[in-house]
Amino acid sequence: MPGQWSLHDRITANDLGNGKFLFNFTSEDDLKFVLRQGPFHYNFCMFVLVRGEPIVHDGYPWIIPFWVQLIGIPIHFWTIRNLRNIGSRLGHIDTMELSEGRMLIDVDSRRPLKFKRQVQSPEGDEVTIEIKYEKLFKHCSICGMMTHEKGLCLTMGSHDQAQTERGGVFTHVQLPSSQSPRQSSMGNS
């Protein structure tokens, strides 16, 4: 991983067991530089990378920040309130870009990803909005989990999978439109 970040000589890594690793950075600037590049993958398998905490519990770490774009929102739904309402159902919103319909969301990696959302206007009109996760790679197209791929999904029998599949591994991949730093521009949400 240090090679992927071009920091060969400034990071050391330790295997903590149980699928967890500790990366030690020689400077705070290097750590911040790496954390701004997320979400992270190794051989296209998603993984969580966070600043270490003094007390580590079994569920830590589990949050992955994703830039998420909402596609198909009718113009009359395009408000900060509506985007915030949709985004908050996906996770904690760190940053919102209203003009792009895009937000930086802290996604719980223990829960399935959502790729579509039904929204309803006050008049009762229903619209399906597509959710695209930037830099999302391998995940299960059946159940939406990032812990495995379709071939290893235990949630359904193979007959049901063909009917409920959410798309291929790279169906929901969208390259980032820019390398924006992770800074909160919303204030309190």
Instruction: Identify the residue whose tokens are 């992955």.
Output: 64
Tens of pLDDT, residue by residue over 46-97, are 777 778 777 766 666 788 889 999 999 888 888 888 889 889 999 999 999 9
Of the listed ranges 27-31, 39-43, 105-109, 126-130, the least confidently predicted one is 39-43
pLDDT of residue 30: 87
Tens of pLDDT, residue by residue over 99-146, are 888 999 999 888 999 999 888 777 788 889 999 999 888 889 889 998
- DSSP 8-state assignment for residue 138: B
Answer whether 133's CB lies under 8 Å from 174's CB: yes
pLDDT of residue 13: 82
Q: Please state the φ and ψ torsions of residue 108, each to the nearest 5 degrees.
A: -75, 110
Q: Please state the φ and ψ torsions of residue 70, each to the nearest 5 degrees.
A: -100, 125
The model's pTM is 0.65
Instruction: Decide if pLDDT at 33 tops 70.
Output: yes
pLDDT of residue 179: 41
- DSSP 8-state assignment for residue 8: G
Hey, where are the domains in the chain?
A: 64-174
Q: Please state the φ and ψ torsions of residue 63, each to the nearest 5 degrees.
A: -95, 130
Q: One-letter amino acid identity for 134?
A: E
Locate 7 and state its tokens.
Answer: 């920091």
pLDDT of residue 77: 82
pLDDT of residue 34: 82
